[in-house]
């Protein structure tokens, strides 16, 4: 039987990748139904055998905001650019939480899903994509909490600043998700051979929080010689822009946003290349 005839009997023929740049991104659209299933799976898995369920997404930012109020507000006495402290910290935490969950969850893609990958074929990128999409729900809950607090302060001398800039919030979220996805799939590719990266990720995420202006504004570091470290963080301009859109305090650094976009595409491109390379043989090492 000829090769052509064999191919004619099947709807799909899986062949080895011939090039590092053979990413087959169009397969993600063909398997969109599977992507939706994985999103639902991730959503249900978060609340399985829990008592409070989605309420944990409200408790976490509330407790974190209280800690930031104590450490950065009361002890360190760091100003908040004229923004009410609770709103300042909660807005930064809302953006940061979405990024950190995307990064930590996608960094375990190969290790956690090795059993599925070894049984059936589907585009492996669907797994990290499903993590990014499923956590939008988490962001929605925490953003809803932030809006509720903003409405409460509306009646206590801090009016809500609604403008057309609010339409740019999804763009900031996409950039934040892209950076988390890009860095996450790079780490997930490395963890197939070096499990130390799983432990290292815990420290990296913790340290990255403190070099991101979540508990302080960039303006506070105007005369600091370490300001360049904060500005080199692609998340800094996104958090600052998010606060400016909500409260019209501070500023939007267009150069910083452009830098974040370039960083996002660079990390995604590098991540996809490494992911594609590791995907060929990860079952032998995972």
Domain assignment present for residue 279? The answer is yes
What tokens were used for 156?
A: 């206590």
Instruction: Give domain status of residue 145, yes or no.
Output: yes
Nearest Cα neighbor of 136 from 39, 8, 55 is 39
Q: What is the count of structural domains for the chain?
A: 1
Give the chain's radius of gyration (CA, Å).
Answer: 21
In this prediction, residue 191 carries a pLDDT of 79
**Cα angle: 285, vertex 32, 99; to 5 degrees:** 65
Domain membership of residue 14 (yes or no) is: no
Within 8 A by CB and 6+ apart from 278, the residues are 110, 189, 192
Residue 9 domain-assigned (yes or no): no
Question: Residue 100's CB: how many other CB atoms inside 10 A?
Answer: 19
pLDDT at 249: 85
- CB of 146 closer than 8 Å to CB of 65: no
Could you tell me how far CA 134 lies from the centroid of its own chain? 11
Tokens 């910083």 -> residue:
256
**Alpha-carbon torsion angle 130, 132, 138, 143, nearest 10:** -140
Assign residue 111 a region: left if phi > 0, alpha if psi is -120 to 50, beta otherwise? alpha
- Determine the pLDDT at residue 73: 87
Distance CA 282, CA 110 (A): 8
Separation CA 245–CA 164 (nearest Å): 9
pLDDT at residue 149 in the model: 93
Q: Quick check: is 7 in a domain?
A: no
pLDDT at 2: 45
Is residue 194, in this structure, part of any structural domain at all? yes
Q: For position 127, what pLDDT does the model report? A: 82
- The reported pLDDT for the residue numbered 64 is 92
User: What is the Cα 163 distance to its own chain's centre?
Assistant: 25
Structural domain includes residue 36: no
Helix axes 196-210, 85-106, angle to 10 degrees: 160
The per-residue pLDDT for 107 is 81
8 Å CB contact between 56 and 145? no
Domain that holds residue 76: 53-284
Mean pLDDT in each 10-residue stretch from start to end of the chain (286 residues)? 50 54 66 79 67 74 93 89 91 93 82 70 80 86 92 83 88 94 86 73 86 91 85 93 90 90 94 78 54
Residue 177 falls within a domain, yes or no? yes
pLDDT given for residue 40 in this prediction: 78
Tokens of 40: 């639902």
Token pair for 80: 């908040």
């Amino acid at each position: 039987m000829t090769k052509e005839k064999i191919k004619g009997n099947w709807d799909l023929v899986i062949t080895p990748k011939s090039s590092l740049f053979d990413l087959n991104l169009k397969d993600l659209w063909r398997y969109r139904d599977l992507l939706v299933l994985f999103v639902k799976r991730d959503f249900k898995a978060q609340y399985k055998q829990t008592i409070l369920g989605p309420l944990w997404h409200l408790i976490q930012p509330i407790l974190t905001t209280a800690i930031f109020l104590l450490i950065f507000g009361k002890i360190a006495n760091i100003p908040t650019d004229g923004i009410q402290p609770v709103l300042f910290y909660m807005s930064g935490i809302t953006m940061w939480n979405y990024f950190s969950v995307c990064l930590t969850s996608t960094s375990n893609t190969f290790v956690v899903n090795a059993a599925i990958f070894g049984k059936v074929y589907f585009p492996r990128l669907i797994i990290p994509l499903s993590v990014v999409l499923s956590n939008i729900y988490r962001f929605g809950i925490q953003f809803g909490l932030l809006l509720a607090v903003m409405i409460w302060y509306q009646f206590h001398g801090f009016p809500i600043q609604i403008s057309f800039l609010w339409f740019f919030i999804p763009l900031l979220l996409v950039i934040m998700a892209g950076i988390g996805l890009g860095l996450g799939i790079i780490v997930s590719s490395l963890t197939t051979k070096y499990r130390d990266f799983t432990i290292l990720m815990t420290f990296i995420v913790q340290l990255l929080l403190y070099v991101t202006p979540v508990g302080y504004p960039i303006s506070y570091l105007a005369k600091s010689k370490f300001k360049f470290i904060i500005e080199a963080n692609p998340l800094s301009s996104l958090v600052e822009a998010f606060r400016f859109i909500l409260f019209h305090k501070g500023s939007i650094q267009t150069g910083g946003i452009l830098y974040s976009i370039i960083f996002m595409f660079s990390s995604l491109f590098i991540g996809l290349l490494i992911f594609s390379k590791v995907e060929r043989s990860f079952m032998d090492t995972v």
